């Protein structure tokens, strides 16, 4: 009986400089930046945004509870999906959920919309966490992962620091969050679209 040969898959090994020259690195950084920027802004202004959408403080607290629960569940589910799909293939899902979460408060309100908002925001955060955790290691290997992840964290932290500023400017200049919410929606859709253009760095290196 002939033996079946198993092809071993060699783990990639990118240095930080090599990773910086790939589209996949910047796609993952953009995903982390936008999720932290928009997510932090939404959470910091949560009660104010909910109030403008006609949601009372009590219901707004329930929205936060649902958001946290959904985030945990989606993180686990996305982790399972990453065993079957490339990280860049799941970026549009995360960005579409975040885009929908940002546009909801701008278009309307009500309890139903607030629950949907919590589901989408929790889903976006949970999926991004799983994609970021697996994506860098899968694309660039573990040899220089510390240096690569250290650089990517700069963008995540920068997003969390910068994100609330446009929302603050929007409420100060226009009296509402609509401008910041709609701009965030557009940026998320642009990032999701970019994932269809960016190729795998491992496949690019082999060619």
Q: What is the pTM of this model?
A: 0.87
> Which is nearest to 194 in space by CA: 7, 14, 28, 21?
28
User: What is the model's pLDDT at position 204?
Assistant: 57
- Is 30 part of any domain? no
pLDDT band at 203 (very low <50, low <70, confident <90, very high): low
Q: What is the CATH number of the domain that holds 77?
A: 1.20.1250.20
- Is 117 part of any domain? yes
User: What is the model's pLDDT at position 7?
Assistant: 42
pLDDT band at 17 (very low <50, low <70, confident <90, very high): very high
pLDDT, tens only, 103-156: 988 776 777 888 899 999 999 999 999 999 999 999 999 999 999 999 999 999
- Is 149 part of any domain? yes
Structural domain boundaries, residue 192: 43-197
- Is 15 part of any domain? no
User: What is the model's pLDDT at position 11?
Assistant: 85
pLDDT, tens only, 180-191: 999 999 999 999
Higher pLDDT, 106 or 42: 42
Higher pLDDT, 11 or 167: 167
- Count of the separate structural domains present in the chain: 1
- Is 204 part of any domain? no
> Which is nearest to 34 in space by CA: 111, 138, 172, 132?
132
User: What is the model's pLDDT at position 1?
Assistant: 42
User: What is the model's pLDDT at position 3?
Assistant: 42
170, 172, 175, 179: CA torsion to nearest 10: -10
């Amino acid at each position: 009986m002939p033996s079946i040969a198993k092809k071993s898959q060699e783990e990639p090994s990118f240095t930080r400089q090599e990773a910086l020259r790939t589209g996949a690195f910047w796609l993952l950084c953009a995903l982390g930046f936008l999720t932290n920027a928009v997510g932090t802004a939404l959470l910091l202004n949560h009660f104010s945004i909910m109030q403008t959408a006609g949601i009372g403080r009590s219901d707004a607290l329930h929205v936060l509870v649902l958001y946290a629960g959904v985030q945990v569940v989606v993180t686990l589910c996305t982790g399972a999906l990453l065993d079957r799909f490339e990280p860049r293939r799941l970026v549009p899902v995360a960005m579409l959920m975040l885009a929908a979460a940002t546009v909801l408060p701008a278009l309307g309100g009500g309890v139903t919309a607030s629950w949907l908002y919590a589901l989408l925001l929790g889903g976006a955060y949970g999926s991004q966490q799983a994609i970021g955790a697996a994506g860098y290691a899968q694309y660039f290997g573990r040899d220089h992962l510390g240096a690569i992840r250290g650089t990517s964290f700069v963008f995540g932290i920068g997003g969390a620091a910068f994100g609330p500023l446009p929302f603050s400017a929007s409420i100060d200049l226009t009296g509402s969050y609509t401008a910041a919410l709609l701009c965030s929606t557009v940026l998320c859709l642009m990032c999701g679209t970019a994932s269809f253009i960016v190729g795998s760095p491992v496949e690019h290196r082999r060619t």
